[in-house]
Structure 1
Amino acid sequence: MVRFDRYMLSQLMWLFGFFALVLVSVFWINRAVQLFDRLIGDGQTALVFLEFSALGLPRLITTVLPIATFAAAVYVTNRLNNESELTVMMSTGTSPWRLARPVAVFGLISALMMSVLSHILVPAASEQLTQREAEISRNVTSRLLTEGTFLSPTPGVTFYTRAIDEDGVLQDVFLADRRTPNERVIYTAAEAYLVRNADGTALIMVDGLAQRLATTDNRLSTAKFQDFSFDISPLMNGEDQIAPSLPFLRTHALLQGWDDIARALGTTPGAVAEEVHSRFARAAFCLVTALIGFATLLVGGYSRFGAWREVVIAFLLLIALDGMRSALSPPVLADARMWPILYTPSVLGLGLTAGLLWFASGGSARLRRLRGRTA
């Protein structure tokens, strides 16, 4: 029996790796297309694109992991049913509860992977990703070198250029500055250049027009210029450090002192409780996905028409349990003491699995006999 456990567990892990790889690839490609268009279009290099893609993978994997776990459990159980391996094992006296042991071990391995991701990798990657996004947002060159789009690199400033030549010359430039109260200034130029020096970064506009509107008396002043230097160094000023945030904190820092953490981060104790316990709940749900897929197909048994009905039922059960999680967060956000309800999908899933395994082990027949004796 131990050999069968190792055999079934190896099959589950192989299929889990396959489904995880396929699903991560599909989700990553869909996200990478948008990320590539945004980063490369903003003047970033391919290395920045690869860095952002790598930093986004941990959170992406947390989305894929329960699905891959469920798919592996369903596929392996269906194959063992079709090849009568489970039937042979049960005919030798092995109970469905005993057959579920390798699936439970597989679910625990998946839960452990989810725990590592949720408690360690995702917070670290999210913090680094936010830091890099802030650094890039402060990179004026990348924010201004976008053709045919009105950009707002900082509040109160709007920039537009029609085209950018291969040598870096900006054609038909428009720059609106509304940062000064009671004053609006618009610069238009036929050409412009970005020049960096020891003092900062400047936008050199050539052959243009400056229009200044004093909103106090609605007086408009205009001036033509051959060349004009606009200092854009203030647009680059920003905080070097990203403010602490709940998704960035490790789990051990969130387990106690919710009131103190909430005051330090400007949030509520309920938000802290929801963040930390949702991480544990996600890991527990991975165990549930594996067991539900196995137990539902085991109840259906072998059929020459296939197990599509059981697969659909298992999938609908999983969707129903997973859909509960979004409805359970608001009560916890309002009252931190309500955090136990976040584990409701996992508890219900384990209870449902126990009921299915009891049914598969002949519980329904014993129930009918009991009803017959009492009738």
Structure 2
Amino acid sequence: MGSIDRYIFRTTLASFALVLISLTGVIWITQALRGIDLMTSQGQTILTFLGITGLVIPSLLGVIAPIALMIAVSHTLNKLATDSEIIVMNAAGMSPFRLFIPFAYATCVVAILVTLIASYFAPDGLRRIKQWDAEITADVLANILQPGRFAQLDQNLTIRIRERQPGGELSGILIDDRRDPKERITIVADRGTVVKNVDGSFLVLEDGNLERFELGKREPAMVAFARYAFDMSKFSNQGRDVALGIRERYLWELMAPAEDDPIYKQIPGQFRQELHDRFLAPIYPFAFAALTFAFLGAPRTTRQSRNFSFGSAILAVFGVRMAGFACSVMTVKSPLAALVQYLMLFGVLGASIWIIIGGVVVEPPARLMEAINRSNARIARLFRRPATA
């Protein structure tokens, strides 16, 4: 790889990384705000919130990476054209296909990244989210114990908390336990925290009073305590099995699903759709990069034709992606839709490479450019300020 190739390769990957991080960050924030109730209503810590919402990032990267590559290739080609480097390299005898080689190297890096994400990292993150969310959702201590409400965990057990402090600490706790027919226990505590260990789940109460009223006795027994552990293991369900969906399956699990898998028996078409989506994921970066270069990689001397080609490249990439989504949806019912998507992507890739090798310049028709120039001149005259004396 020569110095020019290394320069284009580094510039493309640097732009790709910047765009990928920026777009992923923005979309991740919008997704993370939807799970803010983990901290507010369920009393989870900020680390738990960031951990769960952060596991969706690999899935976002897999979707955004081809678009980010298209933007990076467009930026690099525009930079080369603005500095007249494309024209100079073309005049020195470098063909458009030779110029495309470093972009192809950068695309290979992106394709490998997308393959790893689609095969392992994205499903692994989604299954961790599902397991983590199941533990939180199934935990009665985090969901039923809502501030200001009397939660009846059992027929003869009622708990109320006044509020939930940051970090999961509970304050103003009242427990009315009548599960033992021979006695009734009432506990009032200033604060408490949920502690989980190998022995189970406990509600550790601090600074409170315990009143025990035994059957046959006239006066209750009062005990003041500084720290008291109330066993809640019966109401904390942490061992529930989680049924993995299709998106939570690794690539090899989709390729060879178990014959007795109930989800596979119920919706085999969605297994087929997800499997082909995983196979097609690394092809999209090559199609988008080649398509973008086909529109913008040829040397030009006019800014108008470059702007037109840039807009055409965006529309073409958008059209290919939308057509891919449509074929993916139809693959659920018809395997031929998957074949159409493969043919479409390889057709776009082949046509783009043919344009690049042939040095074809994709320019707008002359009449269209004349009409645009006349329209721009008319608009400029309308908004032109009259000269002042």
Fold conserved (TM > 0.5)?
A: yes
CA–CA separation in structure 1 for the residues paired with 2:23 and 2:147: 35
Change (3 A) 1:130 1:150: farther
Q: What is the CA–CA distance in structure 1 between the aligned matches of 2:21 and 2:317, rounded to whole Å? A: 21
Deviation at 1:73, TM superposition (A): 0.2
Residues 20 and 200 of structure 1: CA distance in aligned 2, closer, same or farther (over 3 Å):
closer
Tell me the residue number matched to 1:346.
345
Which residue of the partner structure matches residue 131 of structure 1?
131
Aligned to 1:51: 51
Q: 5 Å matches for 1:151-170? A: 168-169=170-171
Equivalence for 1:119: 119
Corresponding residue of 2:21: 21
Distance 1:271 1:88, change over 3 A: same
**2: CA distance between counterparts of 1:284 and 1:16?**
17
Query: How big is the shift at 1:48?
Result: 0.4
Displacement after TM superposition at 1:145 (Å): 4.5
Residue 110 of structure 1 corresponds to 110
Change (3 A) 1:169 1:161: closer
Query: What do the CA deviations read for 1:41-69 (whole angstroms, capped 9, x no partner)?
Result: 12001110121133111112112211211
* Further displaced range: 273-282 or 258-267: 258-267
Instruction: Kindly state the Cα deviation for residue 361 of structure 1 after the two structures are TM-superposed.
Output: 4.1
* Higher share of residues assigned helix: 1
Change (3 A) 1:268 1:262: farther
Tell which deviates more after alignment, 55-64 or 124-133.
Answer: 55-64
**Corresponding residue of 2:325:** 326
Q: What CA distance in whole angstroms lies between the structure 1 residues aligned with 2:351 and 2:292?
A: 11
- Residue 98 of structure 2 corresponds to 98
Q: Does 1:289 align with 2:288?
A: yes
Q: 1:134 to 1:288 in 2, by over 3 A?
A: same
SS at match of 2:297: helix
Contact kept in structure 1, 2:77 and 2:296, CA below 8 Å = yes
Distance apart, 1:335 and its partner CA = 3.9
| In 2: Cα distance, 1:150 partner to 1:337 partner | 57
- Does the 8 Å CA contact 1:300/1:307 hold for their aligned counterparts? no
**1:331 Cα deviation after fit:** 3.3
1: CA distance, partners of 2:348 / 2:146: 50
Q: How far has the Cα of 1:171 moved from its partner?
A: 9.1
Select the structure of larger CA radius of gyration.
2
Please state if 1:309 is matched with 2:308: yes
TM-score by length of 1: 0.71
How many residue pairs are counted as aligned between the two chains?
Answer: 327
Q: 1:91 to 1:237 in 2, by over 3 A?
A: same
The percentage of aligned residue pairs carrying the same residue is: 23
SS at match of 2:44: coil
State the distance in 2 between where 1:43 and 1:120 align. 31
Structure 2 unaligned regions, length at least 5: 154-158, 176-188, 204-230, 364-389
CA distance in 2, matches of 1:322, 1:152: 52
- Work out the CA distance in 2 between the residues paired with 1:150 and 1:106: 60
Amino acid at match of 2:307: W
Asked whether 1:62 is paired with 2:62, we answer yes
Describe the shift of the 1:164–1:273 C-alpha distance in structure 2 as closer, same or farther (beyond 3 A): closer
Q: Distance in 2 between matches of 1:306 and 1:63?
A: 30
Alignment CA distance shift 1:199-1:249 (3 Å): closer
Shift in Å, 1:150: 12
Contact 2:43/2:164 (8 A) holds in 1: no
TM-score using structure 2 length: 0.69
